[in-house]
Chain A
Amino acid sequence: MNVTAYVVLSGILFTIGCVGVLTRRNAIVVFMCVELMLNASNLALVAFARQHGNLDGQIAAFFVMVVAAAEVVVGLAIIMTIFRTRRSASVDDASLLKY
């Protein structure tokens, strides 16, 4: 069985996540698209682990999941803090450092 199809699927999902990060304005949805990209890379790692017959890829995917969990906790806390002070979850509204 060939893993090329899995890698192509992972590439498609990564691209969709990329476009989502670039086009969506809601910070929560942008964050979900980042998660989608991480998941896509995980799929590639697991597929390549199977291709090469060793488990390093699965360990890497596991670490990606751990880092993603930590990142989500802090990221969502930041989104909540910004929402509490500015009453908006849009990424365009948090632009005070621009000026």
Chain B
Amino acid sequence: MIAFWILAPVMVIAALGILFVRKAVHAAMLLAIVMMSLAVLYAALEAPFLFAVQIIVYTGAILMLFLFVVMLVGVDASDSVVETIRGQRVLAVVAGLALGLVMVLGLSQISLGTAVGLDGANKGGNIEALANILFSRYVFAFETTSALLITAAVGAMVLAHRERLTPRSTQATLTAQRMKDYAEHGTHLGPLPPPGVYARHNAVDTPALLPDGTAAESSVSRVLAARGTVRSAPARAEDIEPIQGQIGGAPHAGRDAVAPATTTEVAPATGEEDPK
């Protein structure tokens, strides 16, 4: 009973969290908390087999499936706040509160008496006792379950299968397309430029600089550009002055080429060196 009073608040809070978190990944994590706590409660309720099945099937398999789909669909697929039916959310919450109130009040009114306990039924082991019932009284339901599982697997395969509508593009067609683009629009034939490699920073999110000092946009992945996580190369060089002051070195001679945006600040510093 101690396990129950520790886990019950945790489960209720985690379940309530599923209602309020914005991202599906967080909801999946909260659901994992609820399911693990449920497994412990099963162990406390003398159901060691269901304890293992809950962890393996629910937390292991089903939740992993959820996470896979969240990954495929995209983490950013968060809820829209637009209500299609007006007042639906408020009504749902009111109805839910009413249902919860009725359930809690009604269930706490009834007195179930003392529990019989499973010591007698579990004699000789819980798994053996379950198997005895499962393969005698429930054997037809058990066999039907196998048909259900096969149907579900085939259904998932049919749903996931995608027919190819266009012929597969080979390397030859890709090259021909590239040549055609070059002939018609003058698109660059060669590979895309690599990202910028600088003395103090070297990462794929920093664009290379063209000879005139502007950033080459095609040198960073367009996924990074769409996410807005592309760094600016001149910004990388902004803290160079304080650091040079700290280590007492001479100002960088080639800084103008790296940071054209900050030439005004650099001008006095380079002016001192110019007499050379």
Contacts and interface: CB of A to CB of B under 8 A. Distances in A.
Contacts of A18: 96, 99
Contacts of A33: 18
B79 A66 contact: no
B18 A20 contact: yes
Contacts of A55: 118, 121-122, 126, 129-130, 133
A63 B141 contact: yes
A43 B38 contact: yes
Interface string A64-83: 01111111111011111101
A53 B116 contact: yes
Given A2-B112, A53-B116, A29 B45 contact: no
Contacts of B4: 5-6, 9
Contact of A39 (B35, B73, B118, B122): B35
Interface residues of B, number: 83
Contacts of A22: 88-89, 92, 95-96
A60 to B, nearest CB: 9
A15 to B, nearest CB: 4
Contacts of B53: 62, 65
B92 A19 contact: yes
A84 B111 CA distance: 51
Interface stretch (B64-72, B184-192, B214-222, B259-267): B64-72
Nearest to A15: B100
From DSSP, what is the main secondary structure of chain B's interface residues?
Answer: helix
Which of B1, B77, B149, B155 is most buried by chain A, counting CB atoms within 10 A of its CB?
B77
B19 A9 contact: no
A17 B130 CA distance: 29
A92 B80 contact: yes
Contacts of B107: 4, 7-8, 11
Contacts of B72: 80, 83
8 contacts: A8-B103, A11-B100, A15-B96, A16-B15, A28-B27, A43-B38, A49-B47, A53-B118
Interface of B: 1, 4, 8, 11-12, 15-16, 18-19, 24, 27-28, 31, 34-35, 38, 41-42, 45-47, 49-50, 53-54, 57-58, 61-62, 65-66, 68-70, 72-73, 77-80, 82, 84, 88-89, 92-93, 95-96, 99-100, 103-104, 107-108, 110-112, 114-118, 120-122, 126, 129-130, 133-134, 138, 141, 145, 148-149, 151-153, 155-156, 159-160, 162
Can you list the 7 inter-chain pairs with the closest CB atoms, starting with the nearest? A53-B116, A19-B96, A22-B92, A11-B103, A70-B152, A15-B100, A77-B159
Interface of A: 1-9, 11-20, 22-26, 28-29, 31-33, 35-36, 39, 42-43, 46-47, 49-56, 58-59, 61-63, 65-74, 76-81, 83-84, 88-90, 92
